[in-house]
């Protein structure tokens, strides 16, 4: 899976923000096994990208509070039956005088992209007015590199950003869901004609409603669970439009949450090492490993943190590993009793 080689010391959140702010790409996918902070990271990226004071957003709670009720933020989750008509535009049926009435309507992405484009056009018109430029000749005006740079800086500083998070993006047939918008992802600002025609061809702003433009101020963050074997791989044409950022299991991320509790840290380290041994000789270990979030301290259970860890081992970690074992994903030399013995590591500490 191709990834952009950024600084190794950067966190996945920082990498994503660099990709966005440097203009390398407008859509990314955070991928990794379960429990590697993909949902946490996606929310943090969205909040920091939209905030004027991103340094104050450090925790998931900060991000969620900031994003709550934001009109320029949306979060959806794909599922196997999700399709184009759910995402872009489709037919709606109503009942009028006991008879079915059909109409075409924009769905979540159709509406969101249109709102983002309106915001972009408004600032473009504002810039043209300030600089006494005919808005219809803006493309010709941009041929001058220096002028184009002035315009780009103005739009970068003034246009409102829009962020869409697509959770579990690989659980749906992405190429089918996006349809002709695959073109729009690569060629931002270019109008794409869509098949379902609306009754009113032009909206109140004079924009053609039968075309969709994905503007440069709309950012997409997808999350992908690499352990999900029920879905096929993402279409290559779609894959080329996204930057992929890996989120891998890391024991240090878990240990840091236990602060100065050295006894609990030792238990977590022993548990982690035991789980790691279960993945020995496993060809696709990095795709299915148990993520560090399963081993983290949770302040909600600060009065009995090891009891909560025991719960996670018995009712979350072991069932996942049992499923891997039964599906033949683990190496043939892994003994089923090794998996059962994991709960003893926490219990023996009591």
**Segment 165-196, tens digit of pLDDT:** 999 998 898 999 999 899 999 999 888 988 87
The pLDDT score that the predictor gives to residue 349 is 60
Q: Bridge partners of 102?
A: 93
Crossing angle of helices 38-50 and 60-67, in 10° steps, is 50
Domain total of the chain: 1
291 C-beta neighbours (distance < 10 Å), count? 22
Cα–Cα separations (whole angstroms), residue 28 to 169, 230, 292, 293: 11, 22, 22, 22
Query: For residue range 281-305, what is the model confidence (pLDDT) as tens digits?
Result: 888 888 899 999 999 988 888 888 9
For residue 242, tell me if it sits in a domain. Answer: no
Task: State the pLDDT at residue 7.
Answer: 55
Confidence band (pLDDT; 50, 70, 90) for 348? low
In a domain, 191, yes or no: no
Is 215 inside any structural domain? Answer: no
Q: Indicate whether 328 belongs to any domain.
A: yes
Residue 321 lies in a domain: yes
What backbone phi and psi angles, to 5 degrees, belong to 106? -70, 145
235-280 residue pLDDT tens: 888 889 999 999 999 999 999 999 888 999 999 999 999 999 999 8
pLDDT band at 229 (very low <50, low <70, confident <90, very high): low
Whether 295 is covered by a domain: the verdict is yes
For 101, phi and psi rounded to 5 degrees?
-125, 125
Question: How many CB atoms lie under 10 A from the CB of residue 320?
Answer: 17
Is 289 a domain residue? Answer: yes
Query: Strand 162-167 vs strand 99-106: parallel, antiparallel, or unpaired?
Result: unpaired
Separation between Cα atoms, residue 35 and residue 275, nearest integer Å: 14
Q: CB–CB of 226/288 below 8 Å?
A: yes
Residues with Cβ within 8 Å of 216's Cβ and at least 6 positions away in sequence, in order, are 26, 120, 155, 188, 189
Q: Averaged over 214-239, what is the pLDDT?
A: 84
Residue 327, domain extent = 251-347
Give 4's pLDDT tier (boundaries 50, 70, 90).
very low
36-93 pLDDT, tens digit per residue, is 999 999 999 999 999 987 788 888 889 999 999 899 999 999 998 999 999 998 877 7
Which of these, 58, 61, 37, 39, lies nearest to 254 by C-alpha position?
Answer: 37
Residues in the chain: 350
On whether residue 260 sits in a domain, the answer given is yes
On average, the pLDDT of the chain sits at 87
C-alpha 199/C-alpha 97 separation (Å) is 21
Dist. CA 261–CA 204, nearest whole Å: 61
The yes-or-no verdict on residue 346 having pLDDT over 90 is no
Tell me the C-alpha distance between 118 and 219, whole Å: 15
Highest-confidence segment of 89-93, 137-141, 147-151? 147-151
Under a CB-based contact definition with an 8 Å cutoff, are residues 321 and 344 in contact?
no
């Amino acid at each position: 899976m191709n990834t952009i080689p950024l600084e190794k010391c950067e966190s996945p959140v920082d990498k994503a923000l660099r990709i966005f702010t440097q203009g390398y790409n407008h859509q990314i996918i955070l991928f990794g096994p379960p429990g590697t902070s993909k949902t946490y990271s996606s929310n943090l990226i969205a909040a920091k990208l939209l905030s004027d004071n991103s340094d104050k957003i450090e925790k998931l709670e900060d991000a969620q509070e900031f994003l709550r009720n934001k009109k320029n933020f949306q979060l959806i989750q794909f599922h196997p039956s999700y399709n184009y008509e759910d995402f872009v535009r489709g037919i709606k049926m109503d009942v009028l005088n006991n008879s079915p009435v059909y109409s075409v309507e924009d769905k979540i992405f159709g509406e969101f992209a249109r709102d983002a484009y309106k915001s972009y056009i408004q600032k473009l018109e504002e810039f043209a007015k300030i600089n006494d430029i005919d808005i219809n000749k803006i493309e010709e005006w941009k041929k001058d590199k220096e002028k184009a740079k002035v315009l780009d800086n103005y739009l970068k500083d003034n246009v409102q950003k829009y962020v869409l998070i697509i959770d579990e993006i690989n659980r749906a047939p992405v190429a089918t869901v996006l349809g002709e918008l695959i073109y729009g992802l690569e060629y931002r600002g270019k109008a794409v004609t869509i098949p379902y025609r609306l009754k009113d061809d032009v909206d109140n702003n004079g924009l053609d409603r039968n075309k969709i433009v994905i503007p440069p101020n709309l950012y997409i963050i997808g999350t992908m669970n690499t352990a999900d074997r029920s879905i096929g791989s993402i279409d290559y044409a779609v894959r080329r439009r996204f930057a992929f950022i890996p989120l891998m299991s890391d024991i240090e991320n878990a240990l840091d949450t236990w602060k100065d509790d050295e006894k609990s840290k030792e238990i977590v380290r022993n548990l982690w090492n035991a789980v790691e041994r279960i993945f020995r000789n496993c060809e696709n270990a990095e795709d299915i490993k148990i993520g560090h979030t399963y081993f983290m301290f949770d302040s909600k259970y600060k009065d009995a943190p090891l009891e909560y860890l025991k719960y996670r081992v018995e009712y979350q970690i072991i069932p996942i590993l049992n499923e891997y074992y039964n599906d033949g994903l683990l190496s043939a030399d892994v003994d089923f009793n090794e998996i059962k013995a994991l709960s003893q590591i926490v219990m023996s500490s009591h």
